[in-house]
Structure 1
Amino acid sequence: MEGGHREEVRFPTIQEFQKWYSGELVPKSSSNDFITIPIKNIQGEYMVARPSKIMAIRVEPVFSSSIER
């Protein structure tokens, strides 16, 4: 984010991220109005941000395994 702030948000699937990204962030990318960023691991909690202040998004896959240790 502009100003050097960093936040981490996890989406359960890449499809859910793509849906949020293309439906919420891209259409309002130059806006100074707040948009909602869902925080899936905390029930009912949301983060808000100004799309025009988001400089980059890092997408990192998290793989799960069926092998229990």
Structure 2
Amino acid sequence: MDFSLAGGIIFKVVAIFVSIFYLIYSLVIGKQVKIMGRVVEDKSNRSLFMVSSIQTTVALILLIFSIFLI
């Protein structure tokens, strides 16, 4: 991509902040799913835990990508 120096730096900083907020969001959702799993006994708890774990993993990969590759 052909950004000017200031535009590229601003883009990278914004990408890192968005990635950090998404990681925090996914961790909060994971905590809520864990609490819900203790309160509500259901067959779909395992799949919700899996989706929550996948979301946290994707958020971590996105953060690493935005720090090192962009």
Choose 1 or 2 for highest CA Rg: 2
Greater fraction of residues in strand:
1
Name the TM-score class by shorter chain. 0.3 to 0.5
**Bigger fraction of residues in helix:** 2
Question: 1 or 2 for the larger relative contact order (CA 8 Å, sep ≥6)?
Answer: 2
- TM-score relative to the length of structure 2: 0.34
